[in-house]
Structure 1
Amino acid sequence: MKRKFIVIFLIVLIAAVAYFMVYTKPWITKISVLYPEDASDIFNELKARFEDGNWFTGVNLKAYTDSENVDEVLGLERVDVVVLNRVDVAEGLRRDGYVDWFIEFANRSRSVYCIAVVKGSTHQSQALEFIRFVLENSKIYADLCTVVTPVRGFGDVPEELQQFVAKYKVIADWANRSVVIPENIKRIVSLVPVITVSIIMEGAGDLLVGVDRISPTSEFLQIVYPRIKNIPVAGFLTEFDEEYILSLNPDVVLVKDSIVVDRFEKIGIPVIVIDMGDLNYEQLYSALRLIGGVVNRKDATEELVSYCESVVESLLNVTSKIPKSERPKVYIAMGDGLTTHVTRVSKDTIWVAGGICVAENLTAPAGAPRVQVSMETILEWNPDVIIAWDPKVKQRILSDPRWSVINAVKNGRVYVLPRGIREWIIPEPEAVLGAKWLAAELYPDVFTFSRDDVREFYSRFLNYTVSEEQIDKILSGTYVTTV
């Protein structure tokens, strides 16, 4: 009887162990996959197929409904693999350190599916094994969504997955859009003059396959960067032919206004908005860094931005201590003298140089950098210094008796604005030269500006040695650009 009991006990024990082994599979490592609920059909199928062919790794699926709260889940629960249905959210997780990389592998409707191993996962190798399975077996979900071919890798994609991916990056533009572009851009179209100039100064002019209609007309740019004469003109701001730009086969188009975005998205061209029309210096630095991120010229960009920052900072170390009431009043004269430039960078240039713009409270109509003023207003302002947009403006002012009572005219302080590629007071890097030049004109006993400053700038950022004659033309504002 005792032997019979032992036999029955052993049979029951073996059955229990067998049941435990079959249904719990303790030898299997379970990875946790957090995925969007709208991809349940895709990941249920992937889980079944993956586990059918894998004795050692299993998958626990966890669905979420709100992608905005994924970071909270990652902070509270153990997750090995995360799937996002928006590229901007995936990039946000990468930026915030939850993942080091992600891969866009499929999309449908408004969802773009990206997958990554969560940083700090205790099952890194198994998580990578699952992602490799997802990438190698797109036929499993090809009928459920659109497969991205080749898949797009962002960030430091692990070596074992690099064979599957084409490298991309996410650029956050000034219209709060997350734009996906190749990591190494090879072909760019710029429809904005200051963006075109900035790209060239950042050492990426060779990437330009189409430019705005203004830049090639710059007499000085044709000298320092002769290739500009041979780059196709693609348009200007909002004036362009989409089909012609499409024929240029650009990787990306850089524009000023978000109103043109739909026109490019309809034909499948990535477009980045950088509103460089009206910037102060801090915004200029940000714009230059954004452009540098697009063209992948980090070192050249930082050198350019650091130069700009150091020049402005050295001026502000002195001029920021000058009370507003003691600053010379400065007027920028254009056209017949009764038109003035009122962009943020022109006002910022005057302020950094130690002056105060008499038109500081005026704003131009949308899309225009200038406003008309009356002679009565000029007489009321009575500027101490006048910056003439070109030599002809200075000549008109000095030959018009109405201006003779103005302090700037009486004291011989009407100066022509220097002009290289463009005028030294518009939102591109030459504006910092304008600030340094103007500071020396306003405070000749405090600041100096020399021909060496001109030589250094164009040598460093355009790799061009300017001649004495060219410096004369720059400082006299006689180089021409057709606007």
Structure 2
Amino acid sequence: MNKQWYRGLILVLLACCAIICVSPVFAENTRTITDMVGRSVTIPTEIHSILGTAPPTSEAVYMIKPDDLIGINFDLKNSSYVPEKYKSLPNVGGQQMGSKLNYETFQSMKPDIVLYGFDPAMGGNQADIEDVQTRLNPIPVVACADSTNATNYGPEIKFLGTLLGAEDRANSLNSFYDNLYKKVTTTVASIPDDQKKKVYYAEGPDGLKTDPASSPHGQLIAVCGGNNVAEVSQGSSGGMSPVSMEQVVSWNPDVIVAGDKKFYKSVMTDPNWKDIKAVKDKQVYLIPNQPFGWIDRPPGANRIIGIPWLAKVIYPEKFTDIDLNSLIKEYYTKYLNYDITDTEVNTIITYSGLTA
């Protein structure tokens, strides 16, 4: 009996010693933060490896602290304007376009944190975040809000800058965004609703998929003062609501922005589209999408450069003072980590249908 008592006492003392010795070390190497939906999350003091659950948040990290990314949600190896070291980032998949997260892949890569892009407008809720956290334990999951809201990218950018110790770059990106957003929205605010140009966002190879003004995917049209003509229901998280040719004819847009190269190349000679005002007036433009979409796909902070581009597409006469060439060069060099040349800038602009 005495032996058992002594053995128990020794085990208790050893456990106490372990707690006393280990706890301070654990505390020194971790910190507790409040994420963007109010959750308390314990994370490493220093973060060196990150995975995001979907493209908008992963691309925000790429723009703020790219070397911390150990994977991305799509394949970059064939993308243009991407440094070689980032082209080799593994494609870990994600929750975009209705896909499910590959938890085994995320766990096997052992990132310091996982970033979860949270946006109620895209159907997200806090229960989803907690479910991902449960499945990925003990990897901490940190929620980032408004990752797809083009009217409010600032808080997410600032949060990530603080979280990742990259405040200077985040502040610089926010200034770039704020200046463009205010310039464009202030200019178009004086346009009466009945004088706003009608814009159709054509998606798919036949141009007969789109996203309405209520969808984050079609949001930039309104930001830039256009009237999104698509009177359709908002699609799933991936968007792309189907429409008929008759609907597009009845909407008769002044401007068409195309998300698909095949459609853009064929629309001007397609007899089904010949009577639409945008086609007759040669006001059809191809949205730049390298390495990330400028208007959509995904609808994340990557769209910041799309704000001045789309403003010049819809209202060229109101934005003659925007130097798109200089803005593209600054954006790619500072925030997309690519030293773009003047020739490459001109190629992007002219390929989209604008004059460089």
Aligned: 1:227 with 2:85: yes
Q: Name the counterpart of 1:38.
A: none
Aligned: 1:434 with 2:311: no
Q: Name the counterpart of 1:352.
A: 223
| Superposed displacement of residue 148, structure 1 | 9.7
Distance 1:269 1:461 in 2: 28
* Alignment equivalent of 1:189, drawn from 51, 62, 74: 51
* Alignment equivalent of 2:246, drawn from 376, 397, 404: 376
Distance 2:101 2:314 in 1: 42
Q: Name the counterpart of 2:7.
A: none
Please say if residues 171 and 179 of structure 1, whose CA atoms lie closer than 8 Å, have aligned partners that are also in contact: yes
Deviations 1:412-447 (A, max 9, x none): 111111223212112333423212112222222221
Instruction: Give the letter aligned to residue 219 of structure 2.
Output: D
Deviations 1:81-132 (A, max 9, x none): xxxxxxxxxxxxxxxxxxxxxxxxxxxxxxxxxxxxxxxxxxxxxxxxxxxx
Q: Name the counterpart of 2:325.
A: 451
CA pair 314-218 structure 1, distance change in 2 beyond 3 A = farther
Aligned: 1:393 with 2:263: yes
| Superposed displacement of residue 389, structure 1 | 1.1
Q: Name the counterpart of 2:4.
A: none
Instruction: Give the letter aligned to residue 305 of structure 2.
Output: L
Q: Aligned-residue CA RMSD in angstroms?
A: 3.0
Distance 2:352 2:39 in 1: 39
| Superposed displacement of residue 260, structure 1 | 6.0
Q: Name the counterpart of 2:184.
A: 315
CA pair 316-404 structure 1, distance change in 2 beyond 3 A = same
Q: Name the counterpart of 2:105.
A: 244
Distance 1:400 1:147 in 2: 76
CA pair 234-418 structure 1, distance change in 2 beyond 3 A = closer
Distance 2:28 2:133 in 1: 25
Aligned: 1:172 with 2:35: yes
Deviations 1:218-275 (A, max 9, x none): 612xx43322233233232253443332232211112345536435434311112336
Matches within 5 A, 1:40-439: 149-151=22-24, 165-174=28-37, 176-202=38-64, 204-212=65-73, 214-217=74-77, 219-220=79-80, 223-237=81-95, 239-256=100-117, 259=128, 261-266=130-135, 267-274=137-144, 278-282=148-152, 284-335=153-204, 336-342=206-212, 344-359=215-230, 362-426=232-296, 427-439=299-311
Distance 1:362 1:291 in 2: 35
Instruction: Give the letter aligned to residue 276 of structure 2.
Output: I
CA pair 369-149 structure 1, distance change in 2 beyond 3 A = farther
Q: TM-score, normalised by structure 1?
A: 0.60
Instruction: Give the letter aligned to residue 416 of structure 1.
Output: L
1:210 alignment partner, SS class = coil
Please say if residues 211 and 235 of structure 1, whose CA atoms lie closer than 8 Å, have aligned partners that are also in contact: yes
Higher alpha-carbon Rg: 1
Distance 2:138 2:20 in 1: 17
CA pair 380-241 structure 1, distance change in 2 beyond 3 A = closer
Please say if residues 77 and 88 of structure 2, whose CA atoms lie closer than 8 Å, have aligned partners that are also in contact: no
Deviations 1:280-327 (A, max 9, x none): 321x22222232233221111111011101101011221111111110
Distance 2:241 2:21 in 1: 50
Q: Name the counterpart of 1:70.
A: none
Stretch of structure 1 that moved more, 452-461 or 249-258? 249-258
CA pair 184-321 structure 1, distance change in 2 beyond 3 A = same
Deviations 1:371-425 (A, max 9, x none): 1111121122111100011332123322221211111111111111122321211
Please say if residues 171 and 294 of structure 1, whose CA atoms lie closer than 8 Å, have aligned partners that are also in contact: no
Please say if residues 63 and 337 of structure 2, whose CA atoms lie closer than 8 Å, have aligned partners that are also in contact: no
Aligned residues: 322
More strand by share: 1
Distance 1:240 1:350 in 2: 30
CA pair 363-289 structure 1, distance change in 2 beyond 3 A = farther
Distance 1:462 1:277 in 2: 17
Instruction: Give the letter aligned to residue 253 of structure 1.
Output: V
| Superposed displacement of residue 345, structure 1 | 4.4
Stretch of structure 1 that moved more, 309-318 or 414-423? 414-423
Please say if residues 148 and 301 of structure 2, whose CA atoms lie closer than 8 Å, have aligned partners that are also in contact: no
Please say if residues 47 and 68 of structure 2, whose CA atoms lie closer than 8 Å, have aligned partners that are also in contact: yes
Instruction: Give the letter aligned to residue 33 of structure 2.
Output: V
Unaligned runs of 5+ in 1: 1-138, 154-163, 479-483
Distance 1:303 1:148 in 2: 42
Distance 2:189 2:56 in 1: 28
1:405 alignment partner, SS class = coil
Q: TM-score, normalised by structure 2?
A: 0.80
Please say if residues 341 and 369 of structure 1, whose CA atoms lie closer than 8 Å, have aligned partners that are also in contact: yes
Q: Which protein, 1 or 2, shows the higher relative CO under an 8 Å CA cutoff with sep ≥ 6?
A: 2
Please say if residues 319 and 354 of structure 1, whose CA atoms lie closer than 8 Å, have aligned partners that are also in contact: yes
Instruction: Give the letter aligned to residue 235 of structure 1.
Output: G
1:445 alignment partner, SS class = helix
Deviations 1:305-352 (A, max 9, x none): 111011010112211111111100000101111111346445432223
